[in-house]
Amino acid sequence: MNERPPVNPDIDALADQAKYRFATATEELATLQYRLGELAGTGRLDPDESRRLQHALVRIWEGLYSGTLCAVRDENTPDCEWDEADNTFSDGSIVRIQIRVEPVEFSDFNWAHNSFTSGDGAVNEHPRGIISCVNPPPARRR
């Protein structure tokens, strides 16, 4: 007998959890992308293999994005408001706070290993020279 699984009645909690999981997993993926670039740039990893792994991480990021943020986004949200909506919990608090601690010219454009790092995927969410703080989802009343 194929029974339908129960439906989560708290849609806001589900969306908040998806936004939180996207932010935390994306931070880890970006760390891996930067590390692969560094390893290839210092000769400790074959550059072609690094590029293949970078592309694999971008595909993982795309799947994560589709299965979290896109899956819980209100279809009536205009495209120009996606970034703000995706970074805001249902109670209005911020999912991820980012602060630039290094000048963009130093951290992004002149990093010695840029040519070995993909410019797509998680690194777009977590650029070099920025500190991120991912807040937990708001507590729910029962």
What is the tens place of the pLDDT at every residue in 64-81? 999 999 999 988 999 999
Share of the chain above pLDDT 90, in %: 82
Query: What domain count does the chain have?
Result: 1
Of 134, 135, 125, the closest CA to residue 83 belongs to 125
The residues near 36 (Cβ < 8 Å, ≥ 6 apart) are 45, 50, 53, 54, 57, 116, 117
* Domain of residue 82, residue span: 11-134
- Predicted model pTM: 0.89
The residues near 47 (Cβ < 8 Å, ≥ 6 apart) are 40, 116
Q: Is residue 5 part of a domain?
A: no
Q: Is residue 26 part of a domain?
A: yes
What is the tens place of the pLDDT at every residue in 24-45? 999 999 999 999 999 999 999 9
Q: Are 95 and 89 in contact (CB under 8 A)?
A: yes
Q: Is residue 29 part of a domain?
A: yes
Q: Is residue 97 part of a domain?
A: yes
Helix axes 47-67, 11-41, angle to 10 degrees: 170
Q: Is residue 4 part of a domain?
A: no
